[in-house]
Homo-oligomer: A and B are copies of this chain.
Amino acid sequence: MFDTAIIGTGPAGLSAAITLKLHEKSVIWFGSPQMSLKVEKSEKIANYPGVGLISGAELNKRFQDHAAEMGLEPVDKMVTAIMFMNDHYSILADNELYEAKTVLLATGVVSAKGVPGETEYLGRGVSYCATCDGFLYKGKKIAVICGPQRYEHEVAYLAELAEKVYCFATYKDVGPLPENVEMIGPVREITGGMKVASIKLNDGSDLAVDGVFCLRNAVAPSTLLPGLELNGPHIVVDREQKTNLAGCFAAGDCTGRPYQLTKSVGEGNVAAHTIIDYLSESQTK
């Protein structure tokens, strides 16, 4: 069992990972080895004290270097569900189960709550992981909501398995995809009975499908960890970065505005210290 599972490799997750590692806590850190896509894509960052004017790509490179220097390696798996087990958490990442005494959510802002029906049909036709669940849809019809572009190769992978793929991309300039992929407009709702049966598009039309894949950078917190107190799209935390669930903490953009990397590193640092205190209190109980 790990001391802490950190979900997210943006500035908040990195900041917490560094400080927890310095305090010799055992950490499993989920996210992309590329660190922060959001920082990477920022043209210029001027307000990270001591760093001066810097391109996002250069700063993200320094984040990667700092992690490497500390021997911190993110596990490149998508966390799709977290279960609160009273004295610890179980974390499902690409269909593998991990256990940790504490969890730090540093997932960034996940736009919207997903598509209506998404949470209800999760595990009953809705999936977040092509690699994990693709095999269930051999020869069948599926829909994919894809964005950002880095998940396009998973659409292609699903197209190899499924007979037909309806794909809604949340970005422009969609690359070449197999012939059995049909691009569609925004999905208004996922519908069905016990299982997913169809999707309704914004134009009112229905398409019969056996499953829906939502390929995104992150899962909305309400879906990720049921019972978590939210305020709109944000996770409610106190000044120590505690959420309403014992042993669960949050830091960075997922806790609210301003969406600033300097705020995120600060919150990651505070969360790490609160986690250290929490672990030492749990030990003495």
Contact = CB atoms under 8 A, between A and B. Distances in A.
Majority secondary structure, A binding face: helix
Given A15-B262, A270-B263, A63 B50 contact: yes
Given A239-B239, A262-B269, A269-B258, A62 B52 contact: yes
Interface stretch (A41-49, A83-91, A190-198): A41-49
Contact of A59 (B14, B15, B50, B260): B50
Contacts of A258: 269-270, 273
A273 B70 CA distance: 32
* This chain's copy number in the assembly: 2
Contacts of A263: 266, 269-270
A13 to B, nearest CB: 10
B22 A46 contact: yes
Given A264-B266, A266-B264, A51 B51 contact: yes
Contact of A51 (B22, B66, B237): B66
A247 interface: no
A233 to B, nearest CB: 16
Contacts of A70: 46
A50 B48 contact: yes
Interface string A1-26: 00000000001001100110010000
Contacts of A269: 47, 258, 260, 262-263, 266
A281 to B, nearest CB: 15
24 contacts: A15-B49, A15-B262, A18-B49, A19-B47, A22-B46, A46-B70, A48-B265, A49-B66, A49-B265, A50-B59, A51-B62, A53-B69, A237-B239, A239-B239, A258-B273, A260-B269, A260-B270, A262-B265, A262-B269, A263-B270, A264-B266, A265-B265, A266-B266, A266-B270
A269 B257 CA distance: 11
A257 to B, nearest CB: 7
Contacts of A59: 50
A65 interface: yes
Interface string A56-90: 00010011011001100000000000000000000
A253 interface: no
A12 to B, nearest CB: 9
Interface string A233-274: 000011100000000000000001110101111111110010
Given A66-B52, A69-B52, A15 B47 contact: yes
A183 to B, nearest CB: 39
B49 A11 contact: yes
Contact of A273 (B14, B53, B257, B267): B257
